[in-house]
Amino acid sequence: MSPLDFTTKELDRLFDLAGDIEKHKEKYAHACEGKILATCFYEPSTRTRLSFESAMTRLGGRVIGFSDAASSSASKGESVSDTIRIISCYADICAMRHPKEGAPMVAAEKSGIPVINAGDGGHQHPTQTLTDLLTIRSLKGRLGGFTIGLCGDLKFGRTVHSLIHALVRYPDIRFIFISPEELKVPDYITDMLRAREIPYEEYMSLEDIMPQLDLLYMTRVQKERFFNEEDYVRLKDFYILDKAKMALARPDMLVLHPLPRVNEISVEVDEDPRAAYFKQAQYGVYVRQALILTLLGLAPQT
């Protein structure tokens, strides 16, 4: 499952359903009774795995799974294809995170149940993008007409790659990429933007561009994807969003971050009403509830 598997109309339906779940939690409390979600996480996670588990539990379903490749039979050499064939016998739907790019898509081809990509290497993180889009839509009331700054590790940050691919389908989006030279957004993304004539600019200074932004999407430097520790140490604190930088921003600019954060947003920013990253995590549960219902064919017909 990728956000691009859905049309923008289907995404609207998904977000409407997430909004209804937020308002009427009880209405959905038994919607997945008798259903089982498998969470197969070959990489560490707090938000994605637990928000999927929370989502299924809040829908009245049950959860099985593993949170570490070492505690699964992958440690004995079992392939993802064989594992998903087995999981298909045990569960009705699966959320999979894997360090190898494309692994959840390979699993989906062999699977008898829907497989949701919960993050694959440095490639994509589609359900984080659904979370990000729902957050923007809920707090701004729309999904177009923005200047969005994406700041930090734009090379390895899979949430950034997924979000750009989703946002290009909405009108009047201008991208501002803010990163050190070594962590620039990959060429395949800028090639796609040029081909679609979608405006983007690249900067190294966050301060310079701050006053122009409607949305600022901060990201962590992805330590786990670096080939050497020295480069990571040099780049990890390149950007630190603090009160002084927030003073340069518009009064209605929103700060998003997929989390976890390390140092890139100072804790002093947390109390700023424009800091939306903890609300974002809450929206992640509603949108995953909506996604599970939709993929199981249990979403109310509109």
Residues in contact with ligand CP by CB under 6 A are: 45-48, 119, 125, 128, 258-260
97, 155, 257, 288: the active-site residue:
97
CB of 170 to ligand CP, least distance (A): 22
DSSP 8-state code for residue 124: B
Element (H, E) at 23: helix 8-23
Q: Which is nearer to ligand CP, 163 or 209 (CB)?
A: 163
Q: Which is nearer to ligand CP, 47 or 98 (CB)?
A: 47
Report d(CA 24, CA 31) in Å as an integer.
12
Residue 166 CA to its chain's centroid (Å): 11
Is residue 123 annotated as a catalytic residue, yes or no? no
Q: Where are the beta strands (DSSP E) in the chain?
A: 36-41, 62-66, 93-98, 115-120, 146-151, 173-178, 200-203, 215-218, 254-256
Tokens 């004539």 locate to: 197
From 58, 125, 155, 261, the catalytic residue: 125
> Of 32 and 130, which has the nearer Cβ to ligand CP?
130
* Residue 116 Cα distances to 34, 84, 234, angstroms: 19, 12, 35
Nearest-angstrom CA–CA distance, 147 and 253: 10
- For ligand CP, which is the closer residue by CB, 45 or 147? 45
Q: How far is the CB of 127 from ligand CP (least distance, A)?
A: 8
**Smallest distance, ligand CP to C-beta of residue 128, A:** 5
Task: Identify whether 8 is a catalytic site residue.
Answer: no
Active site residue: 47, 49, 220, 236, which one?
47
- Give dist(CA 31, CA 92) in Å, integer: 14
Active site residue 169: no
Distance CA 284, CA 134 (A): 8
Nearest distance from C-beta of residue 167 to ligand CP, angstroms: 17
Closer residue to ligand CP (CB): 147 or 280 = 280
- 257 is a catalytic site residue: no
Find the shortest distance in angstroms from Cβ 129 to ligand CP: 11
110 annotated active-site = no
List residues with catalytic annotation. 47-48, 76, 97, 125
